[in-house]
Structure 1
Amino acid sequence: MTECKNRTYGLKCIYKCGHCLNGVPCDVETGSCGTECDPGYLGDLCDKACENGSYGPSCNFTCGHCLNRELCDKGTGMCSTGCDPGYFGDRCHEECLPGMFGTNCSYFCSGHCSHNESCYHVDGICKIGCTAGYRGNYCDIVCEPGFYGINCKEKCSKGCQDSCNRIDGFCRCNAGWTGFPKCNIECPSNFFGIDCRHLCSDHCGNNDTCSGYYGTCDGGCQEPFIGRICDHQIRAQGPGTLARIILTTRFGVERQQRHLAGFSLYISNTSRREEGFLCYKDLSTLELPDLDFSTRCIKYGRFVIFYNERIGQTFYSSSRYENPALTELCDVVVRGCYQTGVYGYSCNINCPINCQGRRCDIVNGYCLGCTEGWSGSKCNQACPSGWYGLECKLSCSGNCRYSDTCNHVTGRCDRGCTSGWKDYYCDKQCDPGTYGPNCENTCSGHCFNGTSCSIVTGNCDNGCYPGYTGDLCDTECLPGYFGMRCRDNCSGHCLHNQSCHHVDGVCKNGCTAGYRDTQCFNICTPGFYGMKCKETCSHRCLEICNHIDGFCSCAPGWMEPPTCNTECPDGFFGVDCGFQCSDNCVNNETCNRFEGTCDRGCQGSYSGLICDHQVFSPSFKVLVTYKEVDCEHEGPSPAGSHDGLLEKWKEKDTLYWKRNKEYI
C-alpha cells in the first residue's frame, strides 16, 4: 500500500484530501475522511462546501436572516453584514423582542395593537388590528375628531360638545342634548340647554315650545313678555324707537337758562342712565340753552332720562351756570314709534328686513345697524366677496371648494372645503391620515416609515412602504414582485406557482421541490432534494444530486439513479456502468466494476490496467548481458514492439530496447 503525504490520496497520491475534521488525514486509497468534516463541508470526501443558506457540521444548520439575503459564514453561520429587519444576534436567528421591530430591532411598536399583542417584528405592522381609538397599519394614528372605537369607524354623537373620547365615545353634552355617556338623546319638549337642565318659558308665541338648544322662542313671545327666552315682562309703557325729544320750561328768564345749563339726555331700557345711551349733552361755553329745547335722537329705548349736576370743588362760570342745578321743566314731549320695526310719519312702514333687531330710523328708514352679512344704509347689500359677519368685518378662510367665497352671513363654505381643509369654516387642516375635499378620504396607510399622506392629494411624498406602489401607495405590487418600490423579483419557486407576498417576498404556502427558506431563493443544501428538501441524495451519487428530483450520475460501479443501488452487470464498469469491460481478462473473468481492471491479470499477450494492449513476441536476437539493461537488441525496431513493454533509445548509430520491469 502506497503511503501518501501532505494530506493526499489515490494512485500516485495525485489527489488532495478534502476538509476532514480538525485536519485529520483522509484514507490514502479512497480519500474518505472516515470521521466527520470540518464545519461548512460535507460528503464522504468532505470536498463539497455547504451550499447557499446552510452552514456548520455536515451543513445541517440553516443560515439566519442576514441583511439583504447575504450568505452567512459556511463554517460559523455568522452574518458579517448584519441582520434583516426584525432579527438580531450574531447569526440573525432571533426575532426582535416583543415591542420592538425593524433594523437592529431599534424601533418601538406603537403599543396599540389589538389584544395587547406586539407588532410584527419585521415592519412594525399590527397584523390583527388596533385597539380602540387608533388606526393605520402601525396603529399609531389616533382617531380624527368626530370618530372613535375600533379602527375609528364609530362616529361621535351629534350631541357631543367638541369631539368625543376617541376610545369609548364618551363626551360632554352640547346644548340641546342629553344621555350619559354619549349625549345621543335630544332634549325632550319644554327643556333646553346642556344636558337639557333648563325648563322652557311658558310665554312663547302661539304656545310653541322653545328651542332645545338655547331655549329661544323662535316664533316670538306672548305679550307682554320680551327677551331671548321670553322671560321678561313689560310692566310699563313698552319700549319704542324715539325720533325727537322736546323740553319746555315754565318761565322764559335767563336764570332758568343758567339752571338748565350742562344738562344731558339719555335713552335707556332701564331707569339707570349709566346703562343708557347719551343722546344729547349741553357743552356750550358761551351760549345759554334754549328754554324751548328740541333734539333729534333716533334710538330704541324705554326710558328718557333728563340729567344735570353741579359737583362740589368744580368751577362753574357764573355767567353761564346757576347753582344749584334745578329742573324746572314744564313739558317733555317724546315723539317716535311705539312699535319696533316700523318707521314713517304714521309708523306704518316696515323697516328693511336686514336691520339689526328690525330697528331703523323712524324718519327715513335707515337701519340702526345691520344683521350679519349685510351692509349699506338699508342693509340691502351683501358683504363683499371674501368677507362675512357683523359689519362685514370677518374674513373668509379662502379654502372653500370650487374657489367659492364663503357665505356672507355665516362665513361657512356652503359647498364644502377644498382639498386639505375641513370644518364649517374650512379653517382647519386635515388630521394626519386624511386628505382631499372636506378631508373625506383616508390615506392608504402604506406611506414609507408610517408617514402621513399629503392632506391635499393623498400622495405619499416620501414613497411607499415595501410591497406597495402608486402615488397613493394603495396598489400592491404586481404578482411576481415585492419589496421597496416593487423592484425585487419573487424567487419564482413558491408552491403551486403562487406569487410571493408583496411586502417581504415570503412564499406563504412553502416552496416547490428543490427550494427552501421563507422566500424560496435557496436551493436545497447539498445532499438533499425534493419537497422541503427532506429527501437525502443517494450516497452512491458521483457528485451532488439534482436538488429537485434527486437524479445524479452514479458513482463508478453503480447504476439506476436516483438511488444508484444497482451494481453494474457483468461486463460493465465505471460511472453509470457506462463502460464495457475488456474481453481479455484471464480465464474470461469479468472486470472490476469500479475501475474496469482485470483483478487477476490479463490473458495471453494482453497487458495494461484493463488488458487492452496486446504484446507481440519480437523476432530478433536478444543479447543477455550483465548490465543494468535486462535485454538488448541491435538493429531495426522489432515488429509489434509496445511502448508499455519496451523502452528504446539511440546511442550513436545504434538503437537499444529495454524491457520495462513493470511488465516482467
Structure 2
Amino acid sequence: MLSYFPMNTFHVTGCDVYTYGVDCKRCGNCSGGVQCNHVTGTCPKGCDAGIYGDKCDLECGNNTYGVECKELCGNCSNGEPCHHVDGTCPHGCDAGMYGDKCDKECGNKTYGMECKELCGNCSNGEPCHHVDGTCPHGCDAGMYGVTCKESCGNCSNGEPCHHVDGTCPNGCVAGMYGDKCDEVFTECGIKTYGVECKELCGNCGNGESCHHVDGTCPHGCVAGMYGDKCDKECGNNTYGMECKELCGNCSNGEPCHHVDGTCPHGCVAGMYGDKCDKECGNKTYGVECKELCGNCSNGEPCHHVDGSCPSGCNAGAYGATCKESCGNCSNGDKCNDVDGSCPYGCDVGVYGKTCDKACQSGRYGISCTKACGQNCQGCNRFNGVCEFGCNPGWTGTLCEKRSNYRI
C-alpha cells in the first residue's frame, strides 16, 4: 500500500546517497561534498572548484577555472586550456610566462620559453620584452640586432654601428672589412697592412710580416732600421740592431751605412777598417795609414792622425813628424827637434840654419867661418888643407907661405 505525502515532502525511496530523481541519477560535484537535491539534483551551496551548472556537472571552459569558473587561465603553451580546478598548465607556458599557472611575466632580464633566455644589452639597462627579447628603446652603444646581443664590428673613428643590422656608416678601421667591419684581413700577407691592405710593412726582424692593422713589427726590426713600424733608417751616426752601434770615423764626417756600419768613401786620417773604427798601427799614420812615422824619440809610435811624435825626435831628426835630418851641430850637440837649428852653431865643414850645407868653395872650418888661402887648390872644407897643392910660388899646409924655390 502506497503512502501519500504532500507534494513538498515527497521522498523517492530506493536510491543511493548522492543521487537524485526518479532514475537515481548521480549528483554533480556539490560544494563541500553535500547531497544534491534528491528531486532536482541542484547543489544547495554551489559547486566544487572547476565545476559549474545548476547541477554542478559541467567542467569550466573558455579558459576559466576554479570556484564558479571565475578565474581566468594563464598563458598555457600552444593555447591549451588550463586545468579546470587549479588552473595549472599541462604542458608548460607560452614564451615570456612562468609559474604553475603561467600567469607571471619573465623578470630579471629574462625572456622566452621558461624564461631561459637572457636579455641583450638594451639601452640604459632597460629590461627586454618578456616574450621575444626585443629592446623597447634600442641597444646600448656597440651592440645591435633585434635583441641587442650582437656586438658591433670595428667601425672607423669609433662610430657606433647601425642598431638594427650592424653596418658601419663610414667604413671600417684599418685591418678590418665587411659591411659590419667584423672580418679581419687575414690575407694581408705579402708584407702589407691597413685599410684594404694597401700599406707596405716596414723591415720587421726575421722577415716576419707586420701587424695587419697598424703595421707594427712583433719582434723588432732588422739591422739598420728603427721605429714601431721599422720604417726609419738609423741616424745620428748609428747603425745595426736597434741602432745601438756607433759609426766609426768616416771621411768628411759622412754617416756610415745604417745596416753594417761601413763607410762609403773611406776613413778620416789615422783610421782604417771597413767601419773605420781602428787606429793606424805599425808606425803608420794619415789617410789609409799609408804614411810611415818618422824618427820619434826612443822608437815610440807617432800619432795615428798627423804623424807627430809625442816625445820629440831622435837625435839627428827634426820637424813635426821627425822626418827631417839635422845637419852637423858643433860638439855633436842635438839639433832643435822643431826647426832643426843647432844651438851652438855648426860643426866644421858645414853651415846654414840646420847645418846641412857644405861649405862653399873658398870656405872651411866651424860653420864655414874661415876663408881658404888664396893660393890653395882644392881647399878641404873641414880643415882648409889644400888637397891639390898650392899655386906656383906658394907653399905651406894652407899655401900661406911664399916659396923660395924658383925655376
* TM-score range normalised by the length of the shorter chain: 0.3 to 0.5
TM-score, with structure 2 as normaliser: 0.45
Q: Which structure is higher in strand share? A: 1
TM-score, with structure 1 as normaliser: 0.29
- Give the structure with higher Rg (CA): 2
